[in-house]
Amino acid sequence: MTSTYDTLSSRLQGAFDTLEAGADPVLRTSDRSDYQANGVMALAKRLGRSPRDVAEEIVDHAELSGIATVEIAGPGFLNLTLSPEFLGKQLTTLRADDRLGIEAATTTKTVVIDYSAPNVAKEMHVGNLRSTVIGDALARMYRFAGHRVIARNHVGDWGTPFAMLIEHLLDREEGNGATFSIGDLDGFYKEARTKFDADDSFKERSRARVVALQSGDPETLRLWRVIVDQSIAYLDLVYQDLGITLTVNDVVGESFYDSMLSDVVADLSAAGLIVESGGALCVFPPGFTNRDGEALPLIVRKSDEGFGYAASDLAAVRDRVDNLHADEMLYVVGVPQAQHFEMVFAVARLAGWLPERVRCEHVTFGNVLGPDRKMFKSRSGETVKLASLLNEAIERADAALKERNTDLDETARTKLAVEIARAAIKYADLSTDRHHDYIFDLDRMIAFEGDTGPYLQYAHARLRSIFRRLGAPWESTAVAFSLDTPQEHHLALGLLAFPEAFEAALASLQPHRLCVYLFDLAQRLTAFYDACPVLISEGALRDQRLALCDLAERTLSIGLSVLGIDAPEKM
């Protein structure tokens, strides 16, 4: 179906084009009327004419009969009100569409999304939250849009931290690894880190161990596997608990690229891009300088001959372009790595590994802060584990459910508590513009009222309960919409705006735009319930209201699912 917005927009565009080809009508939904087009003022200025005149000419030219009526307001705003027939027709088309107006892509793109990517020698912590949650929402949105998503969980499983762990493992003569669990490993990592910082000879040995690891020393590799396997099995549990679609098959960490690194160096070198600097092999992509104006190197091989983080990212670019045939590559990684990615992309372009046609983007995000507006830490100043965050949220959700005295049995209540807890955590993250920091505040996030995940789940469950209370399965009948109350009209407009909200969120890689839309829809629903009884109404009116409820339920259900949020039946 052609969405309501697109229909209006193309009709207006036709009129604007008669005055200046391509002039933007600047069409928006509006509180004053159904939609408002604000493009007249800018156009009038460019044409050196009075906005009022231009507006009148546009209105004359716009082929809107049967679609909308237009009024000129203020200096030249065009206020558009949909005709009842057109509105009804759009709603009817929407009802018959499983995708609620969101068209499936006509050309399927292969989109490689690099997200989550913890360092696997540590437990997942709050610092891994945003990449995991935002990346997963983007993956789901792309899949829903009809694209082929290849997730890449670029875990840190190589290099110095691992060498350090292996070295510490050997020191403690626990080299068989048979008794390790990841819980131990996290403490173990901290011990190794302390030793690394304090003990120079340990530092030296760890450095040598990096080289042993990278040159494929069998004993070193055996110990490495023990650590990595356990860590990945544990990661998988955390993803399942959080409802993240990543699987063990998506784990393609730094180690995977190891065998490609010497080619990276050889090919850069053959292209004349390598410069030796203090024993390290570097590329100096143009345009990158430090504060003193000196050219910045991307270090491809360190002076100890070990390869670094940049080398594996260069190999990953090649792999994703050549072997995975990526049309788009997204890297959902915190903003501190912005320069790293800019330099990696620049070098890959210089080397001819990253063709112009491949969209390649670093999807950055801000920090998760504590109540003191500093980086979120536990009271004792430690990083907070994701597993314990989720558990705390589950406990709170469970307590809230007990208080509400629902008729749920223990098992059902626990399941619901998990769904609410995940929703609270994910929605708080996703509903923040990803460029901004946010304060992690469980009390606010888990509230059933306000702009929260549980509130949207509740809005959805309330709709489900209407249909349950019908007693018999709902027989959806044809409806001749006649939206006589402002609340029904307002709700209908909200429902018709779903495709734009989804597409805007996807195009800008900003899931929060979809959150804003869903929250707005939930508020329209509340106003609708207050003014328009559903179950006690009768006949055609009842059919119409049920049809609106059904559309709202489906919208919330798709909207929440592409964000990775469960939509329980009852709350």
Query: Phi and psi dihedrals of 518, rounded to 5?
Result: -65, -40
What is the number of alpha carbons within 13 Å of residue 188 lying toward its C-beta? 28
461 binds ligand ARG (CB under 6 A): no
Would you count residue 534 as binding ligand ARG (CB under 6 A)? Answer: no
Nearest approach, Cβ of 319 to ligand ARG (angstroms)?
Answer: 11
Distances (CA, A) of 414 to 115, 418, 420, 422, 463: 29, 6, 10, 12, 22
Angle, to 10 degrees, between the axis of helix 539-563 and the axis of helix 486-496? Answer: 40
Give me the least distance between CB of 352 and ligand ARG, in Å please. 20
Residues that bind ligand ARG (rule: CB under 6 A) add up to a total of 9
In whole angstroms, how close is the CB of 318 to ligand ARG at the nearest point?
A: 13
Residue closer to ligand ARG by CB (options 345, 481) is: 345
Structure tokens at 392: 């705390």
Write out the H or E segment, with its range, that includes residue 138. helix 129-144
Closest approach of ligand ARG to the CB of residue 116, in Å: 9
Q: Min. distance of Cβ 340 from ligand ARG in angstroms?
A: 7
Residue 290 · residue 320 · CB < 8 Å: no
Nearest residue (CB) to ligand ARG, 114 versus 123: 114
How far does CA 303 lie from the centroid of its chain? 38
Comparison of 166 and 316: residue with beta carbon closer to ligand ARG: 316
Is 114 or 429 the residue whose CB approaches ligand ARG more closely?
114
Q: Closest separation between CB of residue 254 and ligand ARG, Å? A: 7
Q: What string marks each residue from 319 to 338 as x (binds ligand ARG by CB under 6 A) or -?
A: ------------x-x-----
Could you tell me how many residues make up the chain?
571
Where in 140-179 is the site for ligand ARG (CB under 6 A)?
Answer: 154, 156
- Closest C-alpha to 35, from 65, 73, 88, 61: 73
At residue 256, φ and ψ (nearest 5 deg) are: -60, -30
Closer Cβ to ligand ARG, 310 or 393, answer by number: 310
Q: Which structure tokens are listed for 553?
A: 């339920």
Site string for ligand ARG, 118-137 (x = CB under 6 A): -x------------------
Pick 313 or 500: Cβ nearer ligand ARG: 313
Per DSSP, the residues of 384-451 read PBHHHHHHHHHHHHHHHHHHHT-S--HHHHHHHHHHHHHHHHHHHHHTS-TTS-EE--HHHHH-SSSS
Q: How far is CA 203 from the centre of its chain?
A: 39
Cα–Cα distance, 368 to 300 (Å, whole number): 31
> Edge-to-edge strand order for the sheet containing 298-301?
274-277, 280-283, 298-301
Complex with ligand ARG: residue 27 or 509, whichever CB lies closer: 509
Instruction: Compare residues 285 and 453 and give the one whose CB is closer to ligand ARG.
Output: 285
Q: Does 515 bind ligand ARG (CB under 6 A)?
A: no
- The encoded tokens of residue 334 equal 């915190």
Measured from the CB atom, the residue of 375 and 470 that comes closer to ligand ARG is 375
Exactly one of 167, 313, 398, 488 binds ligand ARG (CB under 6 A); that residue is 313
306/454 with CB nearer ligand ARG: 306
By the rule CB under 6 A, 26 interacts with ligand ARG: no
Q: Of the candidates 43, 138, 163, 316, which one interacts with ligand ARG according to CB under 6 A?
A: 316
Stretch that binds ligand ARG, among 44-52, 57-65, 112-120, 357-365 (CB under 6 A): 112-120
DSSP 8-state secondary structure symbol assigned to residue 295:
B
H helix count then E strand count, the chain: 20, 13
Q: Is 363 in the site for ligand ARG (CB under 6 A)?
A: no
Name the one range near ligand ARG by CB under 6 A: 111-119, 133-141, 240-248, 456-464. 111-119
114 counts as binding ligand ARG under rule CB under 6 A: yes
Angle between helices 129-144 and 511-531 (to 10 degrees): 70
- Residue 475 CB, shortest distance to ligand ARG, in Å, is 51
**Residue 386 found at the interface with ligand ARG (CB under 6 A):** no
In contact, 340 and 310? CB cutoff 8 Å: yes
Q: Write each residue from 415 to 454 as x if it is in contact with ligand ARG (CB under 6 A), else as -, in one continuous string.
A: ----------------------------------------
- CA–CA separation, 165 and 37 (whole Å): 62
As measured in angstroms, the least distance from the Cβ of 437 to ligand ARG is 18
Contact yes or no for 309/117 (Cβ under 8 A): no
Q: Which residues bind ligand ARG (CB under 6 A)?
A: 114, 117, 119, 154, 156, 313, 316, 331, 333
